[in-house]
Each structure stands twice: as structure tokens, then as C-alpha cells.
Structure 1
Amino acid sequence: MPGLDGVLRERALANPDRVAYIAGDQEITYRDFDRRVDRVAVALSAAGVGPGDRVAILDKNSLEYAELLFGAARIGAAQVPVNYRLAPDEVAYIVNNAQAKVFVVGPEFVPVLDAIAGKLEHTAHTAVIDPPGPAYQDYTAWIDAAPDSTSEYEPDTGDVFVQLYSSGTTGLPKGVMLTHDNFLASLSATNDKWGIEESSILMVAMPMYHVAGNVLTISVIYNGLTGVLTREPDPTAIARGIERHRVTHIFLVPVLLQFMPLIPEVTACDLSSLRLMLYGASPISEDVLRGAMAMLPDAGFMQVYGLTEVTGAITMLPAEDHDPDGPDAHRLRSAGLPNPTTTLKIVDPGTQEEVPAGQVGEILCRTPQNMKGYWGMPEATATALSADNWFRTGDAGYLDEDGYLYIHDRVKDMIISGGENIYPAEVENVLMGHPDVGDCAVIGVPDEKWGETPKAIVVASGDVTDQEIIDYCRERLAHFKCPTTVERRAEIPRNPTGKILKRELRAPYWQGKDRAVH
């Protein structure tokens, strides 16, 4: 099979007049999208981008996002989506780490570009979508000026297609290299299960910097369908988009499913076209699931579990297991069954020996969806990914006798808040920079709105207030990473080797609550 850019060419030849993407009041056919991708490829090439190079983008979901994704691939380069919720210095770190030669910025993020323009070490060309004035290179004018020609480069399916950044336990983001083959494997494994048909309309409601948004954006082209891009994950805009375009398939995080039934503008919309509601990326309660199912009685629900490093979903809890009152209601606490091309095993974290069904251990997976590796980090890659392609997820859980996966805890202490991954070490590093903080630990505690939220436990001196500690973090980190509450302690509990006893700190907050990742 050709690479993903080749798949686009095939779809454009087969159905040139079919609408590929809709974004707000804009829409573009497969013929025009393919031509636009060619122009992007030519413009990037003229800017010095070639095979193996990186092209960064900081924007909310847009047609430009999609065309840059495929345009970079057409000349053997890879797109680097940047989380638009990050602080300017965090954005600069990612763009520099990726050694991006081109950096494209959406209109809302010009202040970020201004703040970091002098800090970009490898970027020779910047462009702004709908810029506020002539001081900035107009992205559209730049692409329109490129010759209407076809790139002769033929990407290998083993080439990196996109490089998504996922923070590591060290606190520094890691570039996850995902290839054409990774996405082709992911999409071929899920299509039959998702019930994708020629008439399906996919909505990309999750940010395209998120692996779920990325996979669905590519799925549109892979399947030759029409995709509806929502600028950002706003519940009312999502509902109105479903009604207007008769959307059949969508992926949402539980926090959106929690609020949608409570918003009159949402419940007033006709959502009957939805055939499949995919959800995942953070825990969901039974009450939230029941409310969502009542709001969408005609839709099937499917829970998925995965990671950026495995190109999205590797397990699925099928629609038939979504019966809260049925004999298999206990399966709603599981992450489902592995994809047809995915093998899971549970091992002792210390010995890496496989453990029997029902016993908790570290979850490993072997799948053609496993990443190529971490950009510029061979040691981290070797630690996470074995020579025979077993990936260490960092999550702890067990498999039952029927092969269903249950997530028990997180080996890496990661916090998932509203579908966003937060690594305590990154927040702790910032807190330790405060002159009045002598020691600290960050844990996830229950939160009705976000599933869980960061809590800072500090050993503090002086007259510093809780709010001042929170504000200190907000000046240096994206807000979703910052503690929402602070607890004072005389000391932080540690084991004899100095490791913080996170489980001991979390235990009082999670008594009687299910801290499982669904």
C-alpha cells in the first residue's frame, strides 16, 4: 500500500468532487485538497524543507493544519503539532527540540510567536494564518504563490509521518515518531470495529495535536470520507456541527460527555445521526456514561484505550458490552479487548516475567502501531521499546480470563485531567524553583469536572500563600498542568532511597473511589 500522501492521491482520483474536509463555513473537495497539498509541498521545499525535516504548527483545528500535515509528508518531512495550551517557553522547547525549519502559527497565537521569535534556533521560515498585519508572513499568500506542480518524491511507508510530543517522567517533552505504517496499521485495525462505511461522516472534535484528533483527521483521507473539523472542543459547537452535517462517528473525552447533557443548547440539537460514540483518554464514571447514553439513545458506545506511542487505540470495549444493567456490567470497568493486530501481556515490573491472568503487573503491548521511537533519545527508546517490539506502556493492570484489560494504576504516576496528560515531575521541577518551597510532591486527586486534578504537597517556609504558589506555576506552565490546591506538610514521605511515596500520598484522597483509567 502507498504512504498516506499516496492514499490521498488515490482518493482524489477516485472521487475528485467529494468533500474531504469541512471547517466552519469552509469546505474543500478531494481534488482541491490534493492540489493544495501539492502547493504546500512545493512551498515547503522552496523554504529548505526536505526528507527527514520537521515542520511545526501551533494552531487550533483548521484546514491549514490538515494540508500542512499531508504537504510535509509529500516531500518526506514530518509535521510537529504543538499543544496550543502550552506556555511560550514550552512551545519554544518543542520547536527547537524538533529542529523545525518552518513554524506555522494560527491567528490566536501571534503573541506566542512574538514572545519566542528570538529563541527559535533552527527555524528559518515562520508564517501566520490570517495575520494581524504586514509584519508577518501570510501563510495563505505564501502557499498560493507556490507553483501548481506535483512533487516527485515518493515517501517510504517507514518514514515518520508526524511527531507528537508527549511529556516524560523527567519533565521534558519527548518527540514520539509515528510512521505512515503506524497509522496504516492503526486504521486497518479499527475500521471494521468502528463500522466505517462510504456514507460515514467523521467529526474531528479533539485537538489535532492530540493523537485522537490526529488519527481521525487521517482516517478521513484513508477512508475517502468527509471530515468535519471543529475549531476547538466546545460542547455546543460540537452538537451543532453534528446536527448540521449529520455526523455519524466522533471521539470525545469523558469530560465533554459529562457536560453535554447539562447544556440546553446541546440537548436541543438533533444528534440522531450519530452511529458511534468513541470515548477514552481519561476515566469515566457510570453516572456520566449513563447520562451520555440517555442523550444519544441511537448511538453505539465504544471505549478505547491507548497512548501516543502506540498511535492511538490498542483496545476497544465494544458496544455490546455497554449495558450498565446487564450480566456483564463489570466489563464497563475494563479497557476492553486488544485490537486484532495487538498482543498484550502483563509482566512483573522488576523481572519482566509474564504473570498469570488476574494478577496486576506492567502492561506491555506488541503491535505494528508501536512508534518508531523517541526523537533524538535512543536510550529512552530502548527502555520503552524492546528489540522484538514490546512496548512498555508504563501503566499497571491485569487481564481477566476472557482477555479484557483492566487498568489498575499508573506505573509512571501520570495524572490525566480532562484528557490531558500531566507528569508530576515537570510540575515538581517548577515548584522547587520557588524560593519558599523546600520540598514538594504533586499527585492527582479526584475532581468531579476533570476526573482528577493536580494537587501540590509542599514543605514551605516564609509567608507564601497557597494562591501565590499556584500563580508561580501558572506563570511558568500551561494552566492545565498547574496545581489547583496546595497542602502543607512538615516533610514529604520518601523511601530509604529517596523516592517519594506517591501511593501513600494519594491513598487518603482515593478511598472508596475507583482511580482506574478506562
Structure 2
Amino acid sequence: MPGLTETLRERARSHPGRVAYIAGDTEITYGDFDRRADRVAAALAAAGVGSGDRVAILDKNSLEYAEQLFGAPRIGAVQVPVNYRLAPDEVAYIVNDAQAKVFIVGADFVPVLDAIAEKLQHTTHLFVIDGSDDRYDDYAAWIDGAPETPPSESEYVTDTEDVFAQLYSSGTTGLPKGVMLTHDNYFAALTATNDTWNVDDTSVLMVAMPMYHVAGNMLTISAIYNGVPGVIAREPDPTLIARGIERNRVTHIFLVPVLLQFMPLIPDVTACDMSSLRLMLYGASPISEDVLRGAMRMLPDTDFMQVYGLTEVTGAIVTLPAEDHDPDGPAAHRLRSAGLPNPTCTLRIVDPATQEDLPTGQVGEILCRTPQNMKGYWGMPEATAAALSGDNWFRTGDAGYLDEDGYLYIHDRVKDMIISGGENIYPAEVENVLMGHPDISDCAVIGVPDAKWGETPKAIVVLTSEDVTDKDIIGHCRDRLAHFKCPTTVERRDAIPRNPTGKILKRELRAPYWEGQDRQVH
């Protein structure tokens, strides 16, 4: 039983009485959590789960989530976290795609289970956490009734190259894909980030992002890997997070920019003592300088680091160091970058069509080679081969460039690129200019069909004033960008659709304009 589940065993042996996780008013020690993982393994085995089988879970962050994450691998099984924001049919797709034998659902999501239970093709057991519904088996009774000794470890020989967890991509450009991450992937990611993040025996990590997201998943595992407490926030609520930081003296946390945007504006948040925070990690979507400045004013004694990564590379592969976070310093321009690659990561910028390397400063597709690269996509050998080369270069699908100092600058998703009259336009560049308009609070730029140019940029904006005209908005861009990059039309909306990590749902925005077209540019 090598790998991460043995790491838990070692931590339990060396300091059984130390707190492993805190969830609300509940604490569990390393010794008790290790025994709980054994019960999970035994219960899963009794339910017919074996090596290589998938166990799906749909819930907000919880101790049950964590114990399944570490318990399933003790019999060679693999946890499949499911995004709780998905529609019922989307949940059913993931559970069926993973061929999950067991599906565990939080009480809040029983209505989802009701809607899809008859559609689950491979699932033989359904359990509800904290449920009182006689139609489904109770999770606590199932686990509590299992022995603390799992089936013989000799029956389940786990290698560190085996899959530890299977996370699903967000599916913003197509159906979600099951990303298979191995024990070795996680060890590589933890080793690469630990020194950078200065995690030590006195650290307290907060799991604030959903556990189905790679950031929440990684921090859940990082607590065990480092033998320190992990504070589990039930959901990414700003006030809940701030109170958890104050109560548990949290030292390390990862948040997405949308949370950093709102936290300084909430009195209940700013009233909390968050002085224990040593490091604020942020990423997963772009951040404006105003949002960063506001967050830094709220946490003046906290180091900030931006991270860039993907589910397919087990989280962060690029980090913008704390010393580069000085908006008024000589290197302020680096705040627009994602940072420098981790020591075990090599980056290339290539032409998306030819895969030929591009010179410094030129935008192309970002490729990375790192031991953090996934094993592949579950059941999708063709998609795996298209994304991951034989010599372990992963095509991120992101567009960006490297400067002369090796800093990575992200422009956009390659698939979001607009090709107008043969010219490549990256929407993020236009969006950055639009966000500089005093009457625009949020925006997105998409390509829409055009008889002459093939497609042209369209600005979708959220305005703070009704007085501004479309001509004003287009003129604002024309004063700052080459004209071929500027929007030709403007649409006004009350809100820009985003996924839970703040990424704009470009596919949803484009769909009405490309409906009925003979071809889709992207």
C-alpha cells in the first residue's frame, strides 16, 4: 500500500493525537482519521468495490469527502468528485462515464439523486450523507458498521503510478473529461510547491475551494502530506472563510479572484482577525490590479502568490513570487504575468497549428513538460494522445508568451481565439482594455459570424451607467488597440455567465450567434 494512503498511515503513527482536519465544530485526529479511512476501505470492499473501480461523490466540502478520498485507494479504488453546481443530467453523465459502482450524495443533493437514480448505468449502491430518507442507504450507518481493519493489503497491490483520484474537467468547451491523476502526480506537485509556499509544522491549511476542484483537492491532500491541520470550509462563502481563518488561525489558503473581489466589501469579513494568514494563493481566472490592491490592503501582512495550472497538470505549475507583488514597484509589470515555471516544469510556446516553437515575446499555445502531467483522460485514448505527447509534453490549450526573463503571460484559451480576416485576436487583450472603461463593471469578448471577415469581435458588457453608448465603448477600444482587434458590435447584459472558478462561459455566449451556421470557427 505505497503512495498517499501510506503517507496518511505514517502521519498517524508518528503523531496520532495531532488534529488532521477541522470541519465546523468537529475535529478529527490523525489516528482517528487513519482508522476512519480503514473503515471506508472495508465498507467499499463489502459493497463490491475493488481495485480500479470508481467511487463518485456529490457534496459540498466535508470530512466524509476527505475520508473517501483516502479510504478508497486502500483497496485500489479511485474517488470521482462531482461538481455540485452541475445540472442533474450533467451529474448523471459523469457518474456513468466513470462507471462508478458506488455513488455517495450529500443530503442537500437528494433532489439531484431523485432525478437521476434510474439513469445510472453502473451504480449498484447509493448512500446519502446525513440523510433521513428511507429510499436510500445511510452513509454513517454503512461506514460505522464496517470493521476498522480493511481487507488484506496483499489483495490490493497499489503502485504509485496508479490513479489516486479522477477529477473531471470543467467542460467549458465540450463534455467534461475524466482526468486521471496518479500518486506520483500528486507527490510531484506537493514537492514542487511545498518549499515555495513555506509550509512547515506550524502551518494550518484551509480547504476553501470545492473539493471537486483541483485546488480544493490538492489542499485536502497537502494537509495530510505535511502532517498539519486542514480546515475544511463547507463552501466558498467569504464570511464563512474569514471566520474560519480567525477561529483556527489559518496560515495558508487558496482563493479565486472573484472571492478576493468581494471580501474587502463585506463588513463581516473585514471585522475578522485574519492576521494569522502568511500566504494567500490565488489563481484559476484573471485578476485585475484593482482587485489585487484591495485584497492586499485587507491583508497587509500576508504574502500573495499567483499560481497558474490546470486539472490535467495536478494544479499549479507556474508561480508569481511574493516579491513580485508590488503594484508600485519597479517590477509592477510582472503583476500581469502568471509567474515563473516551477523547478520541475519546462514550458514551450508553439504555433497551435504546426507545433513549431515561437520566439520570445510571441503569443502561441503553452506546452508544459512536468512529472505533474496527468496519466490521461479516462476512457479517451484519442483525446489523451491529442493532448499529451509520447515524450510528456502537454498541450494546455492556453495561449500566452514568455518574456526574456522567463515569466509566462497568459492571453487566452486557444479555442477562444478569434480569427478575423486572417488576423488572430485574443479576447483577453480586448477585455483588459474594456475593463479600463469607467462605466464597465464586467465584460466578455467573443467572435460572431461576419460575411466579410469570417468572424468579428463582439463585446458583451455589464454597465454601471446607461448613458454610455455603443459608439463610446467601441471608440474606447479604438483609442487603445489596433482597429482589427476592436469590437464591431456591443451587447448589454445584467451579468456575465461564469463557472464556479470564475471562468467566463464563452461557449454559452457564442452559441446563439453560431446556431445554424454551416461551420463553427471554433
If the length of structure 2 is used for normalisation, what is the TM-score?
0.82
Change in Cα spacing, 1:283 to 1:191, as seen in structure 2 (3 Å) is same
Aligned to 1:240: 243
The structural deviation recorded for 1:148 is 1.9
Aligned to 2:14: 14
- Does the residue aligned with 2:391 lie in a helix, a strand or coil? coil
- Partners of 1:341 and 1:368 within 8 A in 2: yes
Change in Cα spacing, 1:264 to 1:389, as seen in structure 2 (3 Å) is same
Give 1:78-227 correspondences, 5 Å limit. 78-151=78-151, 152=153, 153-168=156-171, 171-227=174-230
- Rounded Cα–Cα distance in structure 1 between residues aligned with 2:170 and 2:308: 18
* Partner of residue 254 from structure 1, selected from 254, 257, 263: 257
- Does the residue aligned with 1:251 lie in a helix, a strand or coil? strand
- Partners of 2:95 and 2:120 within 8 A in 1: yes
- Rounded Cα–Cα distance in structure 1 between residues aligned with 2:120 and 2:394: 33
* Partner of residue 324 from structure 1, selected from 309, 324, 327: 327
- Does the residue aligned with 1:242 lie in a helix, a strand or coil? helix
- Rounded Cα–Cα distance in structure 2 between residues aligned with 1:444 and 1:274: 38
Change in Cα spacing, 1:381 to 1:257, as seen in structure 2 (3 Å) is same
- Does the residue aligned with 1:214 lie in a helix, a strand or coil? helix
Give 1:424-503 correspondences, 5 Å limit. 445=460, 498-500=519-521
- Counterpart check, 1:358 vs 2:379: no
The structural deviation recorded for 1:351 is 1.4
- Partners of 1:62 and 1:231 within 8 A in 2: yes
- Partners of 2:307 and 2:318 within 8 A in 1: yes
Amino acid at match of 1:138: D
- Rounded Cα–Cα distance in structure 1 between residues aligned with 2:149 and 2:100: 24
The structural deviation recorded for 1:173 is 1.1
* Partner of residue 301 from structure 1, selected from 288, 304, 308: 304
- Rounded Cα–Cα distance in structure 1 between residues aligned with 2:462 and 2:162: 41
Deviations 1:33-59 (A, max 9, x none): 000000000000111111111000000
Query: Across the two proteins, how many residue pairs are aligned to each other?
Result: 455
The structural deviation recorded for 1:5 is 0.1
- Rounded Cα–Cα distance in structure 2 between residues aligned with 1:227 and 1:68: 16
- Does the residue aligned with 2:116 lie in a helix, a strand or coil? helix
- Does the residue aligned with 1:388 lie in a helix, a strand or coil? coil
The structural deviation recorded for 1:348 is 1.1
- Rounded Cα–Cα distance in structure 2 between residues aligned with 1:444 and 1:370: 35
Greater alpha carbon shift after TM alignment, 15-24 vs 405-414: 405-414
Deviations 1:395-441 (A, max 9, x none): 11100011000012210229999xxxxxx99xx9xxxxxxxxxxx99
- Partners of 1:441 and 1:492 within 8 A in 2: no
The structural deviation recorded for 1:171 is 2.0
- Rounded Cα–Cα distance in structure 2 between residues aligned with 1:442 and 1:356: 27
- Partners of 2:167 and 2:178 within 8 A in 1: yes
- Partners of 1:261 and 1:267 within 8 A in 2: yes
- Partners of 1:23 and 1:228 within 8 A in 2: yes
The structural deviation recorded for 1:118 is 0.4
- Counterpart check, 1:49 vs 2:49: yes
Aligned to 1:337: 340
- Partners of 1:334 and 1:407 within 8 A in 2: yes
Moved over 4 A (4+): 167-170, 414-417, 440-449, 479-489, 491-494
- Partners of 1:337 and 1:403 within 8 A in 2: yes
- Does the residue aligned with 2:68 lie in a helix, a strand or coil? helix
Change in Cα spacing, 1:142 to 1:234, as seen in structure 2 (3 Å) is same
Deviations 1:106-156 (A, max 9, x none): 010001111111000000011000113322211010001111214413421
Change in Cα spacing, 1:492 to 1:41, as seen in structure 2 (3 Å) is closer
Greater alpha carbon shift after TM alignment, 150-159 vs 354-363: 150-159
If the length of structure 1 is used for normalisation, what is the TM-score?
0.83
Aligned to 2:371: 368
The structural deviation recorded for 1:169 is 6.8
Change in Cα spacing, 1:441 to 1:384, as seen in structure 2 (3 Å) is farther
- Rounded Cα–Cα distance in structure 1 between residues aligned with 2:212 and 2:281: 18
Amino acid at match of 2:194: N
Q: Which runs of 5+ in 1 are unaligned?
A: 418-423, 429-439, 450-465, 503-518
Amino acid at match of 1:48: G
Change in Cα spacing, 1:398 to 1:486, as seen in structure 2 (3 Å) is closer
Amino acid at match of 2:183: H
Deviations 1:232-256 (A, max 9, x none): 0000000000000000000000000
- Partners of 1:169 and 1:412 within 8 A in 2: no
Aligned to 1:267: 270
The structural deviation recorded for 1:447 is 5.8
Percent sequence identity is: 75
- Rounded Cα–Cα distance in structure 2 between residues aligned with 1:482 and 1:499: 14
* Partner of residue 285 from structure 1, selected from 277, 288, 292: 288
Amino acid at match of 1:135: R
Amino acid at match of 1:43: A
Amino acid at match of 2:245: I
Change in Cα spacing, 1:445 to 1:388, as seen in structure 2 (3 Å) is farther
Greater alpha carbon shift after TM alignment, 300-309 vs 345-354: 345-354
Greater alpha carbon shift after TM alignment, 48-57 vs 166-175: 166-175
- Rounded Cα–Cα distance in structure 2 between residues aligned with 1:26 and 1:134: 26
If asked which structure has higher relative contact order (CA below 8 Å, sep 6+), I would say 1
- Does the residue aligned with 1:369 lie in a helix, a strand or coil? coil
Change in Cα spacing, 1:292 to 1:302, as seen in structure 2 (3 Å) is same
Change in Cα spacing, 1:333 to 1:12, as seen in structure 2 (3 Å) is same
The Cα RMSD (Å) is 3.1
- Rounded Cα–Cα distance in structure 2 between residues aligned with 1:101 and 1:448: 48
Q: Which runs of 5+ in 2 are unaligned?
A: 418-426, 432-444, 449-454, 465-490
Aligned to 1:68: 68
- Partners of 2:416 and 2:506 within 8 A in 1: no
Give 1:373-412 correspondences, 5 Å limit. 373-412=376-415
- Does the residue aligned with 1:173 lie in a helix, a strand or coil? coil
